[in-house]
């Protein structure tokens, strides 16, 4: 796919099965995936501004960096102890300094050792009483400034958090085979000689925007790979040498092919790359995708995720901590309420993506938006008679209501727009739903969570966990997969964000067509060169003849 800069602002989807991707800021969970038709225009976003109050504690209180290191050590220590330990012991969680509530997501003061809960405002109460200004969310590393009354960014705090995280990972992360630890990260700081040499050099173009060749109706795979390439969590995982294809001993390992793909994309070579070995490994692992027939991008997306999960270090059947589950895994809660006795039956299921209906009640013609589809998805619906049997009153002859909500949001949230519609009389006949769906570049998911659905009349959550500020539920769009055509034929393209600019990836020509056209151009150039040489030889003969007559 050859990238051309474009940015979708108002998106009109025309895809049969969609994967859309969104990434959040540092104070929020990162990312979504969805597949849609998008209009495009250029856009550049400014970088985050630094909080002016951070300099005060950095200048007078050097313990803030030490507290950040302690927070990171506690957080990642729990993760690696749970992964590496043969018996997962129950680890003691910190308690709120005021209400003594055990906290799975404590907010820690950066000027003392106090930890408190956000829901009841105890950490803010501490900041007020002690005249302290900053606290940090241990889960995301986001820093809250009491003076600014908002989550803020500062490069010194961000660097301290990142450096502490790298130190913990280097001590605990090993290669998939062998017992060798990861190499220690050493930042490159140019000296005076290097600076002098760099002054007269031309800047190297940004890497990470490399197109993929169509290997014969493989656009469905290429658009999925571009979405994964521009996923910041997967990018950091593979570029940090967490899976090295030279040390892996698995046969037909898709993780090894992904490692090679990231190496090729982030190399200095800008020519389109053909993922032939990755395609072969995908075909061997998923026979339903084998062959040169057209396939659905969403099915390919799920298949590639499953293959990476299977070949990743730390993959388990229960409480998996692999990179795929750490990136895409969430929880969906289903609550069925009995209409007679009011008993609620709760079921919790794993969540990797959300399939959105585009037709039905609750979606008006003028409200074809992703938010409207999500409200309909999480709105209570009545179940048919005898469709639910209450375990408390023991009857199934009355009405019951069912409500879906997202219990746990994943770092990367993926949406699929269900654009297949089957005829009620002929189940084999299906058509594509071409309803345009508008979606924003930033989406807040708080409204669709279980915590928001369980609020009482006073607006307080009935759940035991902290809801936190609404900004922590924002997701930023970073990839969109589109489809043009009908169910049995069509073409996939991809819009992806890279360095705050959007690019369109389109492999509308198969690799053999590109090669044939390239060879034709080269042949024509050779013919032109030969004609020039013949003309030059003829002119020399004419000149020699003129000189002979003289």
276, 304, 405, 389: which is closest to 341 by C-alpha? Answer: 389
CA distance 258 to 265: 10
Please spell the DSSP secondary structure of 186-249, one letter per residue: ------HHHHHHHHTSPPPPPSS---B-BSSS-HHHHHHHHHHHT-HHHHHHHHTTSS-TTT--
Kindly give the pairing relationship between strand 420-422 and strand 430-432: antiparallel
**Sign, CA torsion 233/439/224/314:** positive
Q: Is 491 a catalytic residue?
A: yes
The structure tokens 């990260």 sit at 185
According to DSSP, the residues that pair with 50 across neighbouring strands are: 153
- Angle at the Cα of 298 from the Cα atoms of 416 and 430, rounded to 5 degrees: 80
CA distance 69 to 71: 5
Residues contacting residue 532 through CB under 8 Å, at least 6 positions apart: none
Say if CB 266 and CB 230 are below 8 A apart: no
Of the candidates 219, 253, 338, 414, the residue annotated as catalytic is 219
Structure tokens at 77: 């220590």
Q: Is 422 a catalytic residue?
A: no
The structure tokens 């092919």 sit at 257
Of the candidates 53, 245, 398, 491, the residue annotated as catalytic is 491
Residues contacting residue 227 through CB under 8 Å, at least 6 positions apart: 19, 21, 33, 301, 479, 481, 494, 496
Residues annotated as part of the active site: 219, 491
């Amino acid at each position: 796919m050859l990238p051309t800069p474009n940015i979708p602002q108002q998106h009109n989807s025309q895809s049969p099965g969609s994967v859309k991707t969104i990434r959040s800021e540092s104070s929020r969970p990162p990312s979504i995936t969805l597949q849609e038709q998008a209009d495009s225009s250029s856009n550049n976003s400014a970088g985050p501004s630094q909080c002016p109050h951070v300099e005060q504690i950095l200048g007078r209180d050097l313990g803030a960096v030490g507290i950040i290191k302690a927070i990171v050590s506690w957080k990642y220590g729990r993760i690696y102890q749970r992964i590496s330990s043969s018996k997962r012991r129950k680890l003691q969680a910190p308690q709120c300094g005021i209400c003594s509530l055990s906290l799975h997501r404590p907010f820690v003061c950066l000027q003392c050792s106090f930890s408190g809960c956000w829901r009841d405002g105890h950490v803010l109460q501490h900041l007020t009483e002690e005249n302290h200004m900053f606290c940090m969310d241990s889960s995301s590393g986001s820093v809250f400034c009491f003076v600014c009354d908002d989550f803020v960014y500062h490069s010194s705090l961000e660097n301290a958090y990142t450096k502490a995280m790298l130190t913990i990972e280097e001590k605990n992360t090993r290669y998939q085979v062998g017992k060798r630890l990861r190499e220690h990260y050493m930042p490159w700081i140019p000296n005076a000689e290097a600076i002098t040499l760099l002054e007269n050099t031309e800047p190297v173009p940004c890497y990470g925007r490399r197109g993929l060749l169509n290997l014969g109706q493989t656009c469905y795979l290429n658009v999925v790979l571009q979405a994964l390439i521009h996923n910041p969590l997967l990018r950091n995982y593979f570029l940090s040498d967490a899976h090295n294809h030279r040390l892996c001993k698995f046969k037909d390992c898709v993780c090894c092919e992904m490692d090679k793909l990231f190496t090729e994309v982030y190399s200095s070579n800008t020519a389109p790359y053909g993922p032939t070995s990755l395609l072969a490994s995908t075909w061997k692992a998923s026979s339903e995708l084998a062959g040169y027939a057209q396939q659905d991008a969403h099915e390919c997306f799920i298949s590639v995720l499953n293959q990476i999960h299977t070949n990743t270090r730390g993959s388990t059947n229960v409480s998996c901590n692999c990179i795929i589950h750490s990136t895409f895994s969430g929880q969906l809660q289903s609550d069925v309420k009995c209409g007679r006795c009011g008993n609620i039956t709760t079921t919790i299921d794993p969540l990797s993506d959300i399939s959105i209906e585009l037709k039905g009640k609750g979606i008006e013609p003028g409200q074809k938006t992703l938010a409207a589809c999500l409200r309909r998805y999480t709105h209570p619906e009545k179940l048919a008679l005898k469709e639910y049997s209450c375990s408390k009153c023991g009857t199934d002859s009355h009405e019951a209501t069912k409500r879906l909500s997202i219990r746990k949001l994943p770092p990367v949230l993926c949406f699929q727009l269900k654009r297949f519609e089957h005829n009620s009389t002929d189940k084999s006949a299906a058509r594509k739903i071409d309803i345009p769906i508008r979606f924003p570049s930033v989406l807040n998911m708080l409204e669709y969570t279980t915590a928001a659905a369980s609020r009482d009349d006073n607006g307080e959550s009935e759940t035991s966990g902290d809801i936190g500020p609404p900004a922590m539920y924002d997701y930023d769009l970073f990839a969109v997969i589109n489809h043009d055509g009908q169910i049995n034929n069509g073409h996939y393209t991809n819009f992806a964000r890279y360095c705050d600019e959007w690019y369109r990836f389109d492999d509308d020509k198969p690799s053999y067509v590109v090669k044939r056209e390239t060879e034709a151009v080269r042949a024509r150039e050779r013919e032109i060169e030969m004609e020039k040489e013949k003309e030059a030889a003829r002119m020399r003969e004419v000149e020699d003849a003129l000189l002979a007559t003289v």
